[in-house]
Amino acid sequence: MIHIRHADETPHEASEINVTPFIDVMLVLLVIFMVTAPLTTVNVPVDLPSSTEKPAPRPDNPVFLTIRADHSLALGEDSITPDTLPPALDTATHTNKDERIFLRADKTVDYATLMQIMDQLRAAGYLKVALVSQQGQAEEQATPLPPTQANQP
């Protein structure tokens, strides 16, 4: 026997999407991210290694500003004082404020002194500052492991 279905005999299905599981998953993810986000921004003291990247091409007449270990300054080969830094830079760059200043600092120079010099450069209008590091040194040589950790696999 053949049975013919009529449209009114089919059960009605709900065509709405149940969003409750989606909201539950999103709330769990929100809690996870709220807990883990502060852990990713912990301030940890760091001993930065030297760079192993290939050096960038050197300009024709680079302007090197050097901070020595005794915190004295040198522009090129000439010793200068912090007070004479802006006029000496103007002379060395021919008042071209867009010229890049290559800042070299002894590794014993503290961070505060380096930032003071960079503030003086910014105040003088020199915003393009490149920090010079020792090139070509392997990271293992720059940060050796302590003897207790060096022999462990």
**What CATH code is carried by the domain that includes residue 126?**
3.30.420.270
Give the span between the Cα atoms of 138 and 150, in whole angstroms. Answer: 16
In a domain, 116, yes or no: yes
**Domain that residue 69 falls in:** 63-131
Q: What is the pLDDT of residue 122?
A: 92
In a domain, 144, yes or no: no
**Of residues 56 and 118, more confidently modeled:** 118
In a domain, 41, yes or no: no
Residue 31, pLDDT > 70, answer yes
In a domain, 106, yes or no: yes
pTM assigned to the model: 0.53
Query: Under a CB-based contact definition with an 8 Å cutoff, are residues 101 and 75 in contact?
Result: no
For the beta carbon of residue 139, count every other beta carbon within 10 angstroms: 10
Give the span between the Cα atoms of 145 and 142, in whole angstroms. Answer: 10
In a domain, 100, yes or no: yes
**Of residues 55 and 109, more confidently modeled:** 109
In a domain, 32, yes or no: no
In a domain, 35, yes or no: no
Q: What is the pLDDT of residue 119?
A: 92
Number of domains, the chain: 1
- Pairing state between β 101-105 and 78-80: unpaired
What would the DSSP string read from start to end of 89-142? HHHHHTT-TTSPEEEEE-TTS-HHHHHHHHHHHHHTT---EEE----S--HHHH
In a domain, 13, yes or no: no
